[in-house]
Structure 1
Amino acid sequence: MTDRLYIDVHILQTVPPANLNRDDNGNPKEAYFGGKRRSRVSSQAWKRATRIHFAESRDPQDLATRTKRIAAQLAKAIVERTGIAAEDAQRIAGALIKSTGISAGKKEGDTAYLLFYGRRQLDTIVDLVADNATDLATLEAKALDEAVKTLPVREQLQTGHPADVALFGRMVADIPGLNVDAATQVAHAISTHATELEFDYYTAVDDENSADETGAGMIGTIGFNSATLYRYATVGLHQLHDNLGDGKATIDAVDLFVDSFARSMPTGYGNSFAHRTRPSLVAVVVRTDQPVNLVSAYENPVPASRGIVAESARRLATEFAIATDQWGDTPPYIAVCHTLGDDTDDTAQKLAQAFGKNRTFAELRDGLRTALTERVNSN
């Protein structure tokens, strides 16, 4: 696929008192935007939440893992496949990883950095040694290294990427051949309005206190805030297709990302705040020129008065409509799903003018899949 195509995802989501993503002091992350302090959730936090959500609809074996312990995982797979002793499998696994040129970590058996790889890619590496694992186990260290040196171990990590590696990419600084260019960019989520950091002072009672004992068994504080967040991400369909090499797999990966990005939530202090909500608005815009983040709609913060999410939605619609008109954009697909009133509501009418009729989330995804399938098939 040679034509550029980007799928922009815009989300408005209100979160109650929470500490989704803490900073080095344990408080919710923040940022200044438009001269005002805003609540912030880092892109890394929401990307991880999205990846974790993938497993709710995909077999974990069809997804990736990120770890320094690839050698240990490989050794475990070799034992399960061949039945050789765990110690022998560890030696073989260590030699296989060494043959790739991946730097060793300080701890024996670890790599120097986290490696993002598909679980089924590990199975293809096991395939290389499964038939002669017993013979390899008898070799001394130097001979073992020589025996596996010519095996195409690195090649197994360069092909057959699962959806999450294809979407989020992989960076291996000392082995550029193992790099995978990310097809997805995720922005830091920020509040559409100004926020202030607050603190929850809490105490815990010792249930086994005697009658004459008073006071708390423990006291502490947790920083929190609440916010209506603007969330944005974009997927480059052309890059995703290059990474996966298959049209249907590419469309499936986009659908997987849109579904999980919308439904996921970072889990920081989840038991303390029970902060899970669903978005009030999800808008999808397919573009042929470049990704466009609409955060400038909130450079002037929404006033902290009644109806923050509704005003945020109206501003998003206005920003999109003006930008589209001024730049002469003609997106091939636009859709919106929201919970902000019926056809008679002012906010809903403004959203309809900008993004089209309100759809269910399932209808939005189905329409996107159809539009992208037609695009991929035409190339």
Structure 2
Amino acid sequence: MFVEFHLLQSFVPSNLNRDDNGYPKSGVFGGARRARISSQCIKRAIRTSDVFKSEIPTGDGGTRTRRMMELFQPRLNKAGKKEAEIEVVVKAFTTAYAGLDDKNKDLSSVLVYLSREDIDAMTNAMLENWQAILESVPEKDGKRQYSKDAFKKEKHPIHVAIKALEAQTAQRSSAPDIALFGRMLADNPKFALDAACVVANATSTHAVQEMEVDYFTAMDDELPKGEQGAGQINLTGFNSACYYRYASIDREQLKLNLRGQGLTDADKDVLRGTVSGFMRGLTEVVPSGMKNRFGQHNPPDFALAVVRTSGPGWSLANAFESPVNVETGLMPRSVSKLDKYWNDLTRAYGSQSVKRAVFCLVNSDLEAQVKHLSDKVSSFEEWRATVLAALDEGDANA
């Protein structure tokens, strides 16, 4: 089964997601410049949020880092290993797993995304092969040599440790965020995981004008009497937009990612909690860029969830390929265009795979804009419960 989400959300003047110049991100769609929030920004905001974590029964979440030494050192210290030995073993293991950074050997060459189960399994793999790993790392001019090619030889102790780890943790993850968003590891593709969740860039339903700039000053409270002027002068870019947001979850892929084929009752609770936590994060969490400066705490005004028995579903972004006319109001026209486009797609392609299409509106005045969608609920809590019940029913009938 699949579930897709379509949200409309307006933000006050803000800088939710910055580019390399510190200005709000944007992109061209339908020949017009649009405000944009990257999918990476949205996913990080969700996976690190308390509302997402609160729905996970195990409390297990992934950690993304290049600091493998800092991650494993406390655990290996607790196991009674010496500092000098820990450095050799962790660097050797990191070399084989993800590669070492060329300039800073205390860092991996890429970010690694690990669950608590992954970390425990890696710690055990190092401990079980400790002496063999120590003896297998050569020295030259008093320095240990960490060779990725050498470590990948079939009978090398580090290769043996990696293979043991592979048998325990490859192709799945106990961390719901990793199971949702996947991970890539070019050096060891067997530890890669296909994402069960698609999160699109949020894009404004309308064209945005030139970015606005806030010229601001900070005053020096201890300025000598008689002197004038600011202690600091700076510029901040910002914009304001009504965004269309799209995401979808492949329920079967999520099951595979979490535990493989056989799910226990506890695993099913984690599965349900993962979807529930994602829905809460999607509707309740706002990217934190410059939040204390702009206070962009604006929840969605419209949310549509579509549960499908097959097929990945549709993005409704093309409802806004022709930008909404700003002069007529953004949210009402955006709701109307999305509703109409949904009807156009279901008429053209059919809705045989649609098990449930349920929507929620914050403002009852927007109801007049909805001509085709009919399954309305009164609260976002009910919206979430309805979707979860439809997914549970689908599992029971599978």
TM over 0.5: yes
Q: Offset of 1:176 from its aligned partner?
A: 1.8
Judged with a 3 Å threshold, the aligned counterparts in structure 2 of structure 1 residues 256 and 74 are, in CA distance, closer, same or farther, namely same
Q: CA separation in 2, counterparts of 1:155 and 1:108? A: 27
Contact 2:56 2:274 (C-alpha < 8 Å) held by counterparts: no
Q: Secondary structure of 1:332's match?
A: strand
TM-score by length of 2: 0.85
* Residue in structure 1 matched with residue 24 of structure 2 by the alignment: 28
Q: Which AA in structure 1 matches 2:256? A: D
Q: CA separation in 2, counterparts of 1:256 and 1:374? A: 19
Q: Offset of 1:224 from its aligned partner?
A: 0.5
Q: CA separation in 1, counterparts of 2:157 and 2:64? A: 28
C-alpha distance after superposition, 1:343-371 (max 9, x if no partner): xx4x3155374141233111111121121
* 1:229-244 correspondence runs (5 A): 229-244=243-258
C-alpha distance after superposition, 1:292-340 (max 9, x if no partner): 1101111121111353112211211111122112211131011112112
Q: CA separation in 2, counterparts of 1:65 and 1:181? A: 17
Q: Secondary structure of 1:127's match?
A: helix
Q: Pick the aligned partner of 1:367 from 386, 390, 393.
A: 386
Q: Offset of 1:116 from its aligned partner?
A: 1.2
Q: Offset of 1:274 from its aligned partner?
A: 1.1
Count of matched residue pairs: 368
* 1:204-243 correspondence runs (5 A): 204-243=218-257
Q: Offset of 1:377 from its aligned partner?
A: 3.0
Judged with a 3 Å threshold, the aligned counterparts in structure 2 of structure 1 residues 226 and 350 are, in CA distance, closer, same or farther, namely closer
Q: Offset of 1:218 from its aligned partner?
A: 0.9
Q: CA separation in 1, counterparts of 2:254 and 2:165? A: 23
* Residue in structure 1 matched with residue 334 of structure 2 by the alignment: 312
Q: Pick the aligned partner of 2:121 from 100, 121, 124.
A: 124
* Residue in structure 2 matched with residue 14 of structure 1 by the alignment: 10
Q: Secondary structure of 1:228's match?
A: strand
* 1:60-99 correspondence runs (5 A): 62-80=60-78, 82-99=79-96
Identical-residue share of aligned pairs (%): 32
Contact 2:91 2:100 (C-alpha < 8 Å) held by counterparts: no
Q: Which AA in structure 2 matches 1:304? A: V
Q: Pick the aligned partner of 1:168 from 162, 167, 181.
A: 181
Q: Which moved more, 1:144-153 or 1:194-203?
A: 144-153
Q: Which AA in structure 2 matches 1:300? A: S
Q: CA separation in 1, counterparts of 2:393 and 2:65? A: 37
Q: Which AA in structure 2 matches 1:153? A: L
Judged with a 3 Å threshold, the aligned counterparts in structure 2 of structure 1 residues 60 and 237 are, in CA distance, closer, same or farther, namely closer
* Residue in structure 2 matched with residue 41 of structure 1 by the alignment: 37
Q: Which AA in structure 2 matches 1:207? A: D
Q: CA separation in 2, counterparts of 1:60 and 1:24? A: 37
* Residue in structure 2 matched with residue 354 of structure 1 by the alignment: 373
Where does structure 2 lack aligned partners over 5 or more consecutive residues? 145-150
Q: Offset of 1:272 from its aligned partner?
A: 1.4
Q: CA separation in 2, counterparts of 1:211 and 1:67? A: 50
Judged with a 3 Å threshold, the aligned counterparts in structure 2 of structure 1 residues 56 and 272 are, in CA distance, closer, same or farther, namely farther
Judged with a 3 Å threshold, the aligned counterparts in structure 2 of structure 1 residues 325 and 350 are, in CA distance, closer, same or farther, namely farther
* Residue in structure 2 matched with residue 340 of structure 1 by the alignment: 363
Q: Which AA in structure 1 matches 2:7? A: I
Q: Secondary structure of 2:314's match?
A: coil
* Residue in structure 1 matched with residue 284 of structure 2 by the alignment: 263
C-alpha distance after superposition, 1:41-94 (max 9, x if no partner): 1111111111111345448960101111124312222223x1434443333323
Q: CA separation in 2, counterparts of 1:97 and 1:157? A: 16
Q: Secondary structure of 1:150's match?
A: helix
Q: Pick the aligned partner of 2:165 from 135, 153, 156.
A: 153
Q: CA separation in 1, counterparts of 2:71 and 2:58? A: 14
User: C-alpha root-mean-square deviation of aligned residues, in Å?
Assistant: 2.6
Q: Offset of 1:376 from its aligned partner?
A: 2.2
* Residue in structure 1 matched with residue 147 of structure 2 by the alignment: none
C-alpha distance after superposition, 1:187-230 (max 9, x if no partner): 11111112121110001111110111101111111111001111
Contact 1:22 1:28 (C-alpha < 8 Å) held by counterparts: yes
Judged with a 3 Å threshold, the aligned counterparts in structure 2 of structure 1 residues 258 and 61 are, in CA distance, closer, same or farther, namely closer
